[in-house]
Chain A
Amino acid sequence: MSDQETGKGRSSLGPFHIITGLILLFGVFLTVYRFTQGLGPMTNLSHEYPWGLWIGFDLLCGVALAAGGFVTTAACYIFGLKKYHIAVRPAVLTAMLGYLLVVIALTYDVGRPWRLPYPFVVQSGTTSVLFEVALCVMIYLLTLIAEYSQVAFEWLRMSVARSMVMKVILFLTVLGVILSTMHQSSLGALYLIAPSKMHPLWYSAYIPVYFFVSSIVAGLSMVIVEMSLARRFMRRKMDEAHERGYEDVVLGFGKAAAFVLAGYVSLKVLGLAVENDWGYLVTGFGGLFLIELLGFFALPAYVFAVAARERRVGLVKWTALWAVLGIVLNRINVSLIAYNWNLSVGEHYFPGWMEFGLTIFIVTLGLVLYRYCVTRMPVLYEHPEYTDTH
């Protein structure tokens, strides 16, 4: 048995366990508080801002940053870029946990969470974008669980079940790409209903396209960040193939991110022209828009390109983190800062400390689950009994 498989070298109680333990404990307190006292005492949400930090960050950023799953599986299984195969399992795991946490966060955010299944029973059908998002997210989460199940089956040594999943992996990949295309763009389409509430620089008829294209950037960048973190902190779990292929993944994804980012910036500029919003660029919100567009999208595109050309792996890693921050800034701008932009200063929403606390709890929960899976299952290494069979 290999070191990776036996879990040799697993650390005992350390700072990671203590800090995450305290955060999780605090999260349990917040959970009890949320479900006994309701949203009112816990959040700063209001009639003007029914969607706050939990939607802006936990949901919009969570879904965008989980796009690495469909991007990587599409690259490997549909486009046949097998050199990125080592990134598939970590990316699918991150995506699955990302969507799982999105659903968990939604149970906190929805006033009456027991009504979460309502869209499938009581809804406006195809005229409701929210219904489409709910349906897509549910099916995609099930698809990701099915995709990831091959790893769990290898871990549990259930060869027959694993081979059944492997037979339909291409179908699952295609389904994942279709569903992701639909709901990543639909999350942007949710804001089409509020043209009078959103600042014109962020509101656009093309906002679904912006959301979809930027999610590809988020997915590519997140895979780079996540693989770099895994290599830094979970290296003992990586086998030689993952070590060797790491540079190819980082440079290849960095190059792809550079071009998609350039395309995204071009689309945004085109959007300015179509809506004739040039005049807003010289206002305060225009400054924020330019910081987002040039500082967090155009500049990373250039740096990605330079780093990929010169094969500077370290620079690609940091630029990926930069791009991830850009995506987070964009989603926060769309959902919170540019939303209700014309309200007076006192009426603006700022999340309460318990809202921040719960978001930190959700992110920590994700980290703990990721670590649990990676330390036990063949995510960063090939299972010795199934090498070359996938």
Chain B
Amino acid sequence: MQDNFHTLYDFLLHSEGTSYIVMGLVLVFLFCFWLFLTQRDED
């Protein structure tokens, strides 16, 4: 889709960089979601 990558290196640098950021956000999201899901378990 994007046509502003001139080399494969450009593309990989961009997509992998974004992936690492998304991975970090996903880990935080899943942890928070788990807390939300199990918060009332002991009640």
Contact = CB atoms under 8 A, between A and B. Distances in A.
Whether A and B are associated in the same complex: the answer reads yes
Contact of B26 (A200, A270, A274, A305): A270
Nearest to B39: A309
Nearest to A270: B22
B40 A273 contact: no
B15 A275 contact: yes
Interface residues of B, number: 20
A266 B26 contact: yes
Contacts, number: 50
A85 to B, nearest CB: 21
Interface string A261-289: 01100100110011111111000000000
Given A266-B26, A269-B22, A269-B26, A276 B37 contact: no
B41 to A, nearest CB: 9
B9 interface: no
A255 B38 CA distance: 9
A308 interface: yes
Contacts of B21: 273
B8 to A, nearest CB: 12
Contacts of A309: 36-37, 39-40
A131 interface: no
17 contacts: A262-B29, A266-B26, A266-B29, A266-B30, A270-B19, A270-B22, A270-B26, A273-B18, A273-B19, A274-B15, A276-B2, A276-B15, A277-B1, A278-B1, A305-B37, A308-B37, A309-B37
